[in-house]
A and B are shown apart, each in its own frame.
Chain A
Amino acid sequence: MAAAFRAKKLDLGGFINVKIIRDHTKRKVFEQFEPQRQALRYIIRNTSLPQRMRTQAQLQLSQMSCYTRPTQIKNRCTMGGVGKGVLRAFRMGRFQFRMNALEGNLPGVKKASW
């Protein structure tokens, strides 16, 4: 099921990991199905539409693949694939962030001491 969504050819550069490939696939699938999801969400929330239609939309939304859900997406470290302690602004895990910052790879980031 999930394999059907995966790109036939790897379209990622940088650090690659099974978990990163999976998360990337989920992101792309979500992007693809987002308008459909929003349309169903609109039908569900619109109280002026017939109840039957709204229930059908509810069912359809819940039966969509889990890969189309935004909650499945997790920000992972782009340098090491770590899933916890990831700084959103740098897309890096805390240790990778530290190493890169000390090396001077991150413009504007400087070690402070006071």
Chain B
Amino acid sequence: MNVPGISANTVIFLLQQLQCSIFSTTFNPNRQRLGNKVLRQRLKGPALAAYYPRRSATVEDVLAEFKKFDLDGFNEDEEIRLESIQIAKLRGKGAPKKKRTASGTYYAYDDIRLYLVPHVTHKSLTFIPPDTRKKGKR
């Protein structure tokens, strides 16, 4: 293509500029890295955040709504669960009770401490007789 008075390179340059302005792309004749590919990427956060099923209305929520209209209902699964726990307890197969000592929560290492020699100097390993421990707060 020959345009009188303008060199071929300039014509191409101007054409590219025009093309970029028409299609609203970045005019970058020196091929610099302008990071535009980052801006072109779509945000994938919403898609990723929707992976796990969100909490919706539960049976308890529905029962709470029922109460407003003086309606009554029951959660069958929950009642079956509680019933089976009762049966297990009657058979002596229930969950063990949480152990408590006079000082509060029972730690397995309380037993170990009794065997430790008193002259061990590390602070956490010093021997404290169970009767002298602070009572009150857990």
- Quick check: is A103 within 8 A (CB to CB) of the other chain? no
Main secondary structure of the interface of A (DSSP, over half): helix
Contact B33 A38 (CB under 8 A): no
Contact A11 B55 (CB under 8 A): yes
Contact A45 B38 (CB under 8 A): yes
- Quick check: is A32 within 8 A (CB to CB) of the other chain? yes
Contact A27 B55 (CB under 8 A): no
- Find chain B residues with CB under 8 A from A20 CB: 52
CB < 8 Å: which of A12, A28, A44, A75 contacts B53? Answer: A12
User: In the complex, which residue of chain B has the Cβ closest to the Cβ of A33?
Assistant: B45
Contact A28 B43 (CB under 8 A): no
Task: List CB contacts (< 8 Å) of A8-48 with chain B.
Answer: 10-14, 20, 23-24, 27-28, 30-32, 34-35, 38, 41-48
Contact B34 A47 (CB under 8 A): yes
CB < 8 Å: which of B33, B44, B51 contacts A46? Answer: B33
Task: List CB contacts (< 8 Å) of B30-58 with chain A.
Answer: 32-39, 41, 43-46, 48-49, 51-56, 58
Contact B45 A30 (CB under 8 A): yes
User: In the complex, which residue of chain B has the Cβ closest to the Cβ of A10?
Assistant: B55
| Cα distance, A41 to B41, chains bound together (Å) | 11
Task: List CB contacts (< 8 Å) of A42-58 with chain B.
Answer: 42-48
Residues A91 and B51 in contact in the complex (CB < 8 Å), given A30-B45, A32-B45: yes
Contact B41 A38 (CB under 8 A): yes
26 contacts between A and B (CB under 8 A): A10-B55, A11-B54, A12-B55, A13-B53, A13-B54, A13-B55, A14-B52, A27-B48, A27-B51, A28-B49, A30-B48, A31-B46, A32-B45, A35-B43, A38-B38, A38-B41, A42-B36, A42-B38, A45-B33, A45-B38, A46-B33, A47-B33, A48-B34, A70-B48, A75-B51, A78-B53
| Sample of 9 further A-B pairs with CB below 8 A, known A13-B53, A20-B52 | A12-B52, A12-B54, A14-B53, A27-B48, A30-B48, A30-B49, A38-B38, A38-B39, A70-B44
**Residues of B near any A CB (own CB < 8 A):** 32-39, 41, 43-46, 48-49, 51-56, 58
**Shortest beta-carbon contacts, A-B, top 6:** A31-B45, A45-B35, A46-B35, A34-B45, A31-B49, A13-B55
**Residues of A near any B CB (own CB < 8 A):** 10-14, 20, 23-24, 27-28, 30-32, 34-35, 38, 41-48, 70, 73, 75, 78, 91
